[in-house]
Amino acid sequence: MNTIIPVQLPQASYEIAIAPHNLSQLGAWLSGKIADQAPIQLGQKLLLVSNPEIFAIYGELALQSLSQAGFDVATHLIPAGETHKHLGSIQALYDSALSHKLERSSTMVALGGGVVGDMTGFAAATWLRGINFVQVPTSLLAMVDAALGGKTGVNHPKGKNLIGAFYQPKLVLIDPTVLKTLPDREFSAGMAEVIKYGIIWSVELFESLENNPALARFSDVSPDLLSAILNHSCRAKADVVGKDEKEAGLRAILNYGHTVGHAVESLTGYSVVNHGEAVGIGMVAAGAIALNLGLWDAKSQGRQLALIQKAGLPTQLPPGIQIDAIIAALQSDKKVNAGKVRFVLPQAIGSVTITDAVPQEILCQSLANLATGVE
Ligand code: GLY
């Protein structure tokens, strides 16, 4: 059965469609032939963007479905990994858009994880001043977070996602069955964002994760729990983005765990820890800061820590990272406002607050606890 979650925005509403085997229906979805879907109108030319690993598994199925629906499709592959998320890769994507003669009515379809989705979205936002764009996320992290909400962009050598645009897709198509080929480490990484929604928005989601004995692999999660995870997470994101598309206020709560997380990712060259692992560490850091500020209690911090560990995620800083280096890296984050770092801190399971009033000594003390393993 299809679950359709609307993302309601003033100018660019769209749907998140979740159902097993949706990928084989890609062409039907893009031509607006699925019962109950909102009207969608895309031109005939498509550029399918993916990475070689994902394309080897799912490219054929996607291409077949698109051709059967009458689309004229070309393919562009980006090497896998965060280290390829830069403007050079966007230039190569523009070259493919040019050779396939994409027009204003044409569409870029991102088939892959967050890196493919963010870059395809940015290329679509800027090619011919904006063409259509569809997200077909294949990682858990992209399904619950990166592919939703219209944040697109690339990294600058000095910081993650510093170059980008808000640009909404016309449709997000999720096929949970593709997660069976996702490496375990990537599944865990996605679970970090799922746990994030439990802390910032949904006690029900948090408790359903707590009640499952294991969470680190696709095989640990029943189809019913996976469906609940996707539904709760996508609804949480759609609700938040629907209220604050451009991050004027509320949307910043989606950055829970990302402040210290981004610093850790950037200091380790985007290769030692992946994004989800960094968010796991960042959530423990945010919890430690909140604990030291008296905003939340040790029991809640313990519940958060247990869930992050159950998802197979790290909870301590990688060896060799200096606390001073993290503090310096926080200053070049997008979340800095008038020189002050903005933190999203937990108050209770299901509720967070945003503050830029974290004294330096509390920050240092909280990070030191993570470095030494004192939690
Ligand atoms: N990943 C955070 C956001 O979409 O706002």
Write the DSSP string, 9-26: -SS--EEEEE-TTGGGGH
Task: Please tell me the distance from the alpha carbon of residue 256 to that of residue 198, in angstroms, as a whole number.
Answer: 11
pLDDT at site 374 = 47
Task: Please tell me the distance from the alpha carbon of residue 296 to that of residue 347, in angstroms, as a whole number.
Answer: 5
Residue 239, domain extent:
189-372
Chain-centroid distance of CA 305 in Å reads 21
Which of 140, 233, 251, 262 best tests ligand 1's pocket when mutated (most atoms within 8 Å of CB)?
251
281 lies in the same domain as 198: yes
Considering its fold, how many domains does the chain have in total?
Answer: 2
258 lies in the same domain as 134: no
Q: Show which of 181, 215, 243 is a domain's final residue.
A: 181
Helices 203-210 and 184-200: crossing angle in degrees, nearest 10, is 140
Q: Which of 45, 235, 275, 342 is catalytic?
A: 275
| Residue 374 to residues 138, 144, 316, 320, 332, Cα–Cα distance (Å) | 36, 31, 9, 17, 27
Nearest CA to ligand 1 atom 2: 254
CATH number for the domain spanning 115: value is 3.40.50.1970
- Looking at residue 62, its amino acid is A
pLDDT at 342 over 60: yes
296 lies in the same domain as 155: no
Residues 193-217 pLDDT 10s: 999 999 999 999 999 999 999 999 9
**Catalytic residue flag (residue 342):** no
pLDDT at site 375 = 46
203 lies in the same domain as 58: no
pLDDT at site 260 = 95
Task: Please tell me the distance from the alpha carbon of residue 16 to that of residue 239, in angstroms, as a whole number.
Answer: 12
pLDDT at site 43 = 97
The rounded Å distance from CA 313 to ligand 1 centre is 20
The token pair at 283 is 């959530």
Chain-centroid distance of CA 298 in Å reads 28
Nearest CA to ligand 1 atom 3: 254
Q: Is the pTM of this model over 0.75?
A: yes
Q: Which of 84, 170, 262, 342 is catalytic?
A: 262
Q: Show which of 181, 198, 226 is a domain's final residue.
A: 181
**Catalytic residue flag (residue 151):** yes
132 lies in the same domain as 65: yes
Q: Show which of 161, 181, 201 is a domain's final residue.
A: 181
pLDDT at 130 over 90: yes
215 lies in the same domain as 197: yes
Average pLDDT of every residue of the chain = 95
pLDDT at 372 over 60: no
pLDDT at site 99 = 98
17 lies in the same domain as 148: yes
70 lies in the same domain as 197: no
CATH number for the domain spanning 289: value is 1.20.1090.10
